[in-house]
């Protein structure tokens, strides 16, 4: 992740320089600027570096620690996740995550959006980097055991995986929400009067919700992990394009 976030930072600098030299015949709703892109890249890098430093100190839970976990200590709202465990559902949630990461590329089918590939590429990269960095840093700070650690039907070898303490908050949900809401926000800003806009927003809201439900059903996340990931991802997905809008 560290290399990727550095690439985001360099992309922001490059696109800001190139865009400043472009002709302005096309009235784009977005712009790239030093004032927005450099600080945003710096925040993403800072969170990413902090995550890497803290992640090195995290030790897998011992067998004694895992056996001491009691699902009765989990709130009723979250407790049902401790009974779930399904590898096929996990694979399905992975497919939705990777699909959402590629979703913004569909925007380039629109000729007006395609002209602004520099701005859209920058917004996509920053949205992904900020979401991934914020999610990773929170996980390593909170170190919440995943629901499957409470499930006696899950193999002990799986429970000792490196990310077994990274339940809060759901990265699949946050990234899917960020990509979905960002895509809807961009299309809306280019075509505010399009009849397709309401349906695009509905789709943007639905995909991360489905992803979150699947993450709960596979025993990877509690409902509070999913709700938090949804809110943060959606907020970043809307905020980053908004910060790049040209103020009239």
pLDDT, position 18: 46
- Cα 122 off chain centre by: 16
Please state, in angstroms and rounded to a whole number, the distance separating the CA atoms of residues 40 and 241: 12
pLDDT, position 23: 46
Residue 219: C-alpha distances to residues 12, 55, 159, 164, 207 (Å): 37, 22, 11, 11, 19
Please state, in angstroms and rounded to a whole number, the distance separating the CA atoms of residues 171 and 180: 14
Which two tokens mark 189? 């800003």
Task: Give the other-Cβ count within 10 Å of 68's Cβ.
Answer: 9
Which two tokens mark 61? 């839970």
- Cα 47 off chain centre by: 14
3-state secondary structure of 142: helix
Number of H helices, E strands in the chain: 11, 0
192 touches 201 (CB < 8 A): no
pLDDT, position 157: 87
Residues of the chain with pLDDT under 50: 1-6, 9, 11-25
pLDDT, position 26: 54
């Amino acid at each position: 992740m560290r290399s990727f976030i550095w690439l985001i930072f360099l992309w922001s600098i490059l696109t800001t320089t190139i865009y400043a030299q472009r002709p302005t015949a096309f009235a784009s709703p977005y712009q790239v600027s030093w004032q927005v892109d450099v600080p945003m890249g710096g925040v993403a890098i800072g969170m990413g570096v902090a995550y890497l430093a803290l992640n090195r100190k995290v030790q897998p839970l011992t067998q004694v620690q895992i056996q001491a976990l009691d699902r009765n200590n989990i709130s009723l709202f979250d407790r049902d996740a401790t009974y779930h465990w399904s590898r096929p559902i996990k694979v399905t949630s992975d497919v939705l995550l990777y699909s959402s990461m590629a979703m913004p590329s569909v925007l380039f089918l629109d000729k007006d959006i395609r002209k602004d590939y520099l701005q859209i590429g920058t917004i996509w990269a920053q949205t992904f980097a900020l979401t991934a960095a914020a999610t990773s840093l929170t996980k390593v700070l909170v170190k919440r055991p995943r629901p499957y650690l409470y499930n006696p039907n899950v193999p002990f070898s799986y429970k000792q995986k490196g990310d077994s303490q990274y339940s809060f908050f759901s990265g699949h949900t946050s990234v899917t929400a960020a990509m979905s809401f960002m895509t809807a926000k961009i299309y809306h800003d280019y075509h505010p009067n399009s009849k397709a806009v309401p349906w695009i927003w509905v789709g943007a809201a639905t995909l991360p919700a489905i992803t979150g439900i699947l993450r709960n059903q596979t025993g990877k996340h509690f409902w509070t992990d999913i709700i938090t990931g949804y809110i943060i991802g959606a907020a970043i997905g809307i905020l980053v394009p908004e910060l790049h809008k040209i103020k009239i």
